[in-house]
Structure 1
Amino acid sequence: AGYQFDICYTSVLKRAIRTLWLAMDATDQMWTPVVRTWRLNERHYGGLTGLNKAETAAKHGEAQVKIWRRSFDTPPPTMDPDHDYYTTITKVNMSEEQIMELNLPTGIPIVYELDKNLKPIKPMQFLGDEETVRKAMEAVAAQGKAK
């Protein structure tokens, strides 16, 4: 794809680290510095963490689950807005409406091109072919629906 990375970020989850290794190896960039942080671990859902999404949607309704999963200002149950992590989420120049409709595909790396102040220059780009990314986004959208 012609990408040349200055630095790579990953969570501390083994599967994420291994995926990064594969991407770095495939692009012959194993020398690139890596920052690992728990802040990039999977989404934290407060009181909903670990619950089955379909069962949660059946119990609370698909619309409420979507709000909990996407909103920056409506936390899931028992997540206090004063929690340390609540304010660390940034919108990346997206409206609340765009965020509510965004289905981030799992397992597909995202690339941001940043300026010297670490502000995005361009919108996020997914590293994957269009069809694979589309199918992954559809799968994520279906996770919050009742069965």
Structure 2
Amino acid sequence: MDRILVLVRHGQSEWNLKNIFTGWKDPDLTDLGVEEARIAGRRLKTAGVGFDLAFTSNLLRAKRTMRLLLDELGAPDVPTANSVALNERDYGDLSGLNKAEAVKTWGPEQVHIWRRSYDVPPPGGESLKDTVARVLPYYCQTILPAVLDGRRVIVVAHGNSLRALMMVLDKLTPETIPSMELATGIPILYRLKSDSTVDSKEVLAG
């Protein structure tokens, strides 16, 4: 039985381009982001990977990436669930600020701690630990059972919500996970064993 799980970070957003803390704000994709989404779909098609179920966040950049990707696959009707559980980490008071502006306001050391620590949240926002705490129950209760049942599943989400999933899949630690970078629009193909651990992992980067 194939137990396929594909993770994709959404294509470049308008605020990615402008180096702005985005979090739960809802900018659209750039033209490059649209193309990244389409390329992701083409790469999956070339790899012969199709899907029975799709999961994404409630944010436009992820939902639009999913639609474009599935259209490229020729599978626009794949059942898709949107959940706030898969939303990006909430950056609180940093949301909407250019990263250079945030450094001027709070200083480089403090901003670095907020960005790269595991359990220190920015004012009014979430730490990566907080994000993990809402993403993993959704994964364990909703996404993983479908994969283990043999349904081919794709998740299009965000840098930090996907880090939460990869923390489990790749057995990463609170020390190693914050520094892991995820490129936009690159599918990561996992095949799982029956005990939910990873049998193989492939990054479809071209």
Determine if contact 2:187/2:204 at 8 Å carries over to the other structure: yes
Q: Give the TM-score normalised by structure 1.
A: 0.63
Question: 1:35 is paired with a residue of what secondary structure?
Answer: strand
Q: Does 1:94 align with 2:140?
A: no
Determine if contact 2:189/2:203 at 8 Å carries over to the other structure: no
In 1, distance between residues paired with 2:93 and 2:200? 31
Gaps of 5+ in 1: 130-147
In 2, distance between residues paired with 1:36 and 1:117? 26
Corresponding residue for residue 21 of structure 1: 67
1:59 alignment partner, one of 95, 105, 113: 105
In 2, distance between residues paired with 1:80 and 1:14? 20
State the 4+ residue runs in structure 1 displaced beyond 6 angstroms: none
Number of corresponding residues: 126
Q: Does 1:39 align with 2:85?
A: yes
Q: Does 1:6 align with 2:6?
A: no
In 1, distance between residues paired with 2:99 and 2:199? 32
In 2, distance between residues paired with 1:64 and 1:44? 17
Gaps of 5+ in 2: 1-46, 136-163
Corresponding residue for residue 198 of structure 2: 121
In 2, distance between residues paired with 1:87 and 1:49? 20
Q: Deviations over 1:34-67 (max 9, x none)?
A: 1111222333112322222111123333343232
Q: Deviations over 1:80-104 (max 9, x none)?
A: 88xx757325433212332232223
Question: 1:21 is paired with a residue of what secondary structure?
Answer: helix
Higher-RCO chain (CA-CA 8 Å, sequence separation at least 6):
2
Cα shift at 1:118: 9.1
Determine if contact 1:108/1:126 at 8 Å carries over to the other structure: no
Range with bigger deviation, 47-56 or 91-100: 91-100
Determine if contact 1:10/1:36 at 8 Å carries over to the other structure: yes
The two structures, once aligned, show a CA RMSD in angstroms of 3.3
* Bigger helix fraction: 2
Cα shift at 1:3: 1.8
Calculate percent identity across the aligned residue pairs.
Answer: 37
Question: 1:108 is paired with a residue of what secondary structure?
Answer: coil
